[in-house]
């Protein structure tokens, strides 16, 4: 039976990425060695890292004055690296979910943090609007996609300060005006590579403006200067990331990928809105096209376990909602084929017919 992988992360990767990465595990670039055992300073892998940085810049149309680096520690390490490097006196944060809240907690260790708005009281079911960002803030931080709750900001906010964004779960899903940002960071395990590497795009001019001493490993300038090679980088995930980036270019770039993803999400949301057994959990205008969250309609709550088992038997993997929300979550990352979304919809319709 075909499996349809809706896991929130680590998540589905393209067949192109998996096939090429698997081949490199056996023999990397004709070296007779596995990608798992080669030196990160060997010319073959240095070329991989260089090409991966170049392709990130091409796909995101990164302007001059920015650098791309690959780090460890996941997005969670960036929660402290960002304020360590950028927060001089005060920063503004938008609280839209668990990961945004975690970023706020870390930033408060380094200076004043103004939470401009929060949807916590409504269980993060919408993106706050109409907030104001202080013009004297060092930066404004937001989480573009909230994987747990299923809300998303598919735009670059217009504010009077520089932006920082955690784009872990929707990086490479739409064109981005990188020139508005000081830092964009993203854990790779949603739309780029296996877990273990974090992508960071950083504006060099924003660095070196704070008085505090920064530990060497936590200073962006260290990794820019050493081209992500200050210490041993996560070699295999970077190789896999390069394969994904190549695949994205064959799809036609980010505008084409965005169109594809909007179409996939519409198929599933239309079924959620039509099917009497289910309902969405967040404001319609803020629905994520990456993480589609839904629950059983109130009058059918007792069917939740039954649908979970029914879907699993039909080959649906990873659709259980996060423990803090419950219900179901279908993650429709870039590598998710439309046919899998259609298979989930068919499963929902079949379950409806039984009830």
Alpha carbon 326 to chain centroid distance? 21
Those residues whose C-beta lies under 8 Å from the C-beta of residue 32, and which sit 6 or more positions away, are none
Active-site residue (options: 95, 138, 156, 166): 166
Sheet of strand 66-71, all strands in order from the earlier edge strand to the far edge: 66-71, 198-203, 181-187, 163-166, 140-143, 90-95, 112-118
| Inter-residue contact 165 to 42 (CB < 8 Å) | no
SS3 56: helix
Q: List alpha helices for 226-322, DSSP H.
A: 235-251, 254-274, 304-313
Q: At what angle do helices 304-313 and 338-354 cross, to 10 degrees?
A: 130
Q: Which two tokens stand for residue 232?
A: 């041993």
The secondary structure of 82-95 as a DSSP string is HHHHH-SSEEEEEE
Active-site residue (options: 55, 156, 190, 219): 190
| Inter-residue contact 99 to 166 (CB < 8 Å) | yes
Those residues whose C-beta lies under 8 Å from the C-beta of residue 354, and which sit 6 or more positions away, are none
170 in active site: no
Residue corresponding to tokens 């990130």? 56
Maximum separation of any 2 CA atoms in the chain, in Å: 65
Rounded Cα–Cα distance for residues 284 and 300 (Å): 21
138 in active site: no
Rounded Cα–Cα distance for residues 39 and 149 (Å): 41
Angular region, 150: left φ>0, alpha ψ -120 to 50, beta rest: left
Active-site residue (options: 95, 99, 156, 170): 99
99 in active site: yes
Omega into 10 within 30° of 0, i.e. cis? Answer: yes
SS3 82: helix
Rounded Cα–Cα distance for residues 115 and 98 (Å): 14
- The residues that are catalytic are 99, 166, 190
């Amino acid at each position: 039976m075909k499996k349809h992988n809706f896991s929130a992360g680590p998540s589905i990767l393209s067949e192109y990425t998996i096939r090429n990465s698997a081949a490199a595990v056996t023999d990397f670039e004709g070296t007779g060695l596995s990608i798992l055992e080669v030196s990160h300073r060997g010319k073959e892998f240095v070329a991989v890292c260089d090409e991966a940085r170049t392709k990130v810049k091409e796909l995101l149309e990164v302007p001059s004055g920015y650098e791309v680096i690959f780090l460890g520690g996941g997005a969670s390490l960036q929660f402290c690296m960002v304020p360590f490097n950028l927060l001089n006196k005060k920063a503004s944060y938008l609280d839209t979910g668990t990961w945004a809240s975690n970023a706020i907690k870390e930033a408060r260790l380094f200076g004043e943090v103004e939470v401009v708005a929060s949807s916590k009281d409504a269980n993060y079911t919408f993106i706050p609007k109409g907030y104001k960002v202080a013009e004297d803030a060092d930066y404004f931080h937001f989480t573009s996609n909230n994987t747990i709750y299923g809300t998303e900001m598919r735009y670059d906010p217009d504010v009077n300060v520089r932006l920082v964004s955690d784009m872990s779960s929707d990086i490479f899903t739409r064109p981005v005006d990188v020139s508005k940002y000081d830092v964009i960071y993203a854990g790779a395990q949603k739309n780029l590579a296996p877990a273990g590497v974090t992508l960071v795009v950083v504006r060099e001019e924003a660095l070196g403006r704070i008085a505090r001493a920064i530990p060497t490993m936590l200073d962006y300038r260290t990794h820019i200067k050493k081209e992500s090679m200050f210490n041993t980088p996560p070699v295999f995930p970077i190789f896999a990331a390069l394969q994904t980036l190549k695949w994205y270019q064959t799809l036609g770039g980010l505008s084409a990928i965005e169109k594809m993803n909007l179409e996939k999400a519409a198929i599933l949301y239309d079924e959620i809105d039509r099917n009497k057994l289910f309902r969405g959990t967040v404001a319609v205008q803020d629905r994520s096209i990456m993480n589609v969250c839904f629950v059983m309609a109130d009058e059918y709550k007792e069917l939740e376990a039954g649908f979970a088992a029914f879907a699993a038997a039909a080959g649906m993997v990873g659709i259980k909602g996060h423990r803090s929300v419950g219900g179901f979550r279908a993650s429709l990352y870039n590598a998710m084929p439309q046919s899998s979304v259609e298979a989930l919809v068919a499963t929902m319709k079949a379950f409806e017919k039984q009830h």
